[in-house]
C-alpha cells in the first residue's frame, strides 16, 4: 500500500529546520519499504528534529546529514544526559542510527559516525504486573458499571480475557477482525509490530467471552472489527485504557496497571506455571529472546520452590 509522504508540522517547533527534507524522505522510505509503524515514525521524526535544532544552535550545522561526525554525536549524548532520561537518549540515538544506516546503504556515507558511540547504561526495571489472584479478581469479580448495557459489559469482558489470555498488545487487540479467530482450534491471528503476523492461543475463557459478546451484537463479518467501540466503529486503545481503569477501581486494584500490564501478567503466569521460554517468546511476538527473559526474574520464587522439592541435595 502506498503511503503519503511524511511532512513535518510546527507542533513540536518550526517545521522548516536544517535537514528536514532529507529526514522526511528517510521516514517516508521507512514507512513504505520497512513497514515502520506510524507511531514509531512520529517518534523518529521528533528525535531527528530535536537533534538538528540542537546541532544548529551548538555547532552552526546547516543540515547536511552526511557531514555529521562522531564528535557531534558524542557531544549531543553528553549534553542530553544533563536534561533527559537515559531511555529518551537511547530512543533519540536510535532514530539517528537508523537515518545514518539508511544513508550508508544508499551510498551517501562510507561508514556511520554512530558506529562506536557509547550510550549510558539503562536500568533493568522489572515490569509491573498483576498477581494470579489479582488477575482472577479483575476478570471474575470486578462489577460492571451500572450504566453499561449487557452488550458493552460482554465486550469489556472479552477485551480483558483476550489481553490476559493471549498476551496481546492493546493495538493488536483493537486491530483484530472477524476472520482472525479460528474457533475450532482456539487460535487468533495477530498483526504485530512491523506488520509481522503470529498465531496465538487465547484460552477457552476468552472464546466464551467472545461468544457471549456476539450473542448481543451478532457475529462480525470476516473483514469487520472483532470488537466495536461503544458507538460503533473500530475500538480505540484509549477506550480500552479508560475501561480498564474503571474495572481496576471497581475491583479495588491499583489503577496504574495499564492494558500492557495484562500482557506482562500473561507472560509471567505462563512461565510461573511451567511454560517454555521460547513458546512464551512466540506467544508475545518478541523478536529477541532477551526481551522475554526479563520475565524469568519474576519467577525465581517458584524456581526455588521447585528446586527445594525436586533436587536431591536441596
Residue ranges covered by each domain of the chain: 1-123, 132-309
- Supply the pLDDT for residue 307: 57
Interatomic CA distance for residues 59 and 75, integer angstroms: 10
Query: Of 72, 263, 264, 269, which one is the catalytic site residue?
Result: 263
State the pLDDT at residue 2: 47
Exposure string of 46-57, with b = 16+ CB inside 10 Å and e = fewer, is bbbbbbbbbbee
295 is catalytic: yes
Residue 245 is a catalytic residue: no
Catalytic residue among 49, 72, 169, 247: 169
Catalytic residue among 104, 193, 205, 217: 193
Q: Report pLDDT digits (tens) over 70-114.
A: 999 999 999 999 999 888 999 999 999 999 999 999 999 899 999
Which of these CATH numbers, 1.10.150.130, 1.25.10.10, 1.10.10.10, 1.10.1270.20, describes 1-123? 1.10.150.130
Q: Quick one: residue 289, left, alpha or beta (phi over 0 = left, psi -120 to 50 = alpha)?
A: alpha
| Model pLDDT, residue 271 | 82
How many CA atoms lie within 13 Å of 160's alpha carbon, on the beta-carbon side?
24
- Out of 90, 189, 217, 286, pick the active-site residue: 286
Q: Catalytic residue at 269? A: no
Side-chain-side CA neighbours of residue 131 (13 Å):
5
Low-confidence residues in the chain, pLDDT < 50? 1-2
Our answer to whether residue 193 is catalytic in this structure is: yes
Active site residue 286: yes
* Structure-derived torsion over alpha carbons of residues 47, 51, 54, 57, reported in degrees to the nearest 10: -130
Instruction: Classify 234 as helix, strand or coil.
Output: strand
pLDDT at 12: 56
Active site residue 263: yes
CATH of domain 132-309: 1.10.443.10
Same CATH fold, 132-309 and 1-123? no
- Kindly report, residue by residue over 239-275, the tens digit of the pLDDT: 999 999 999 998 898 888 889 889 888 888 888 888 8
CA distance 109 to 56: 21
pLDDT of residue 272: 81
Distance (Å, whole) CA 249 – CA 116? 48
| pLDDT number for residue 40 | 81
Amino acid at each position: 500500500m502506498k503511503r503519503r509522504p511524511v511532512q513535518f508540522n510546527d507542533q513540536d517547533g518550526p517545521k522548516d529546520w536544517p535537514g528536514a527534507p532529507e529526514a522526511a524522505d528517510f521516514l517516508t522510505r521507512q514507512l513504505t519499504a520497512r513497514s515502520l509503524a506510524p507511531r514509531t515514525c512520529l517518534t523518529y521524526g521528533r528525535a531527528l528534529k530535536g537533534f538538528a535544532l540542537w546541532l544548529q544552535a551548538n555547532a552552526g550545522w546547516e543540515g547536511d546529514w552526511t557531514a555529521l561526525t562522531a564528535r557531534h554525536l558524542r557531544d549531543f549524548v553528553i549534553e542530553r544526559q544533563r536534561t533527559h532520561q537515559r531511555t529518551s537518549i537511547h530512543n533519540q540515538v536510535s532514530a539517528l542510527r537508523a537515518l545514518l544506516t539508511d544513508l550508508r546503504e544508499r551510498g551517501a556515507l562510507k561508514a556511520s559516525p554512530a558506529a562506536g558511540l557509547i550510550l549510558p547504561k539503562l536500568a533493568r526495571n522489572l515490569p509491573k504486573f498483576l498477581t494470579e489472584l489479582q488477575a482472577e479478581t479483575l476478570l471474575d469479580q470486578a462489577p460492571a458499571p451500572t450504566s453499561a448495557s449487557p452488550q458493552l459489559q460482554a465486550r469489556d469482558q472479552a477485551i480483558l480475557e483476550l489481553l490476559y489470555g493471549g498476551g496481546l498488545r492493546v493495538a493488536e487487540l483493537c486491530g483484530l477482525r472477524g476472520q482472525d479467530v479460528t474457533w475450532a482450534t482456539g487460535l487468533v491471528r495477530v498483526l504485530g509490530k512491523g506488520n509481522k503476523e503470529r498465531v496465538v492461543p487465547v484460552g477457552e475463557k476468552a472464546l466464551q467471552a467472545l461468544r457471549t459478546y456476539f450473542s448481543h451484537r451478532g457475529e462480525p463479518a470476516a473483514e469487520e472489527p472483532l470488537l466495536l467501540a461503544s458507538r460503533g466503529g473500530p475500538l480505540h486503545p484509549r477506550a480500552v485504557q479508560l475501561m480498564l481503569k474503571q474495572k481496576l477501581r471497581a475491583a479495588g486494584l491499583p489503577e496504574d496497571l495499564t492494558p500492557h500490564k495484562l500482557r506482562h501478567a500473561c507472560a509471567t503466569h505462563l512461565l510461573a506455571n511451567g511454560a517454555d521460554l521460547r513458546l512464551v517468546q512466540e506467544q508475545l511476538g518478541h523478536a529477541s529472546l532477551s526481551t522475554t527473559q526479563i520475565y524469568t526474574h519474576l519467577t525465581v520464587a517458584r524456581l526455588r520452590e521447585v528446586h527445594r522439592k525436586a533436587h536431591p541435595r536441596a
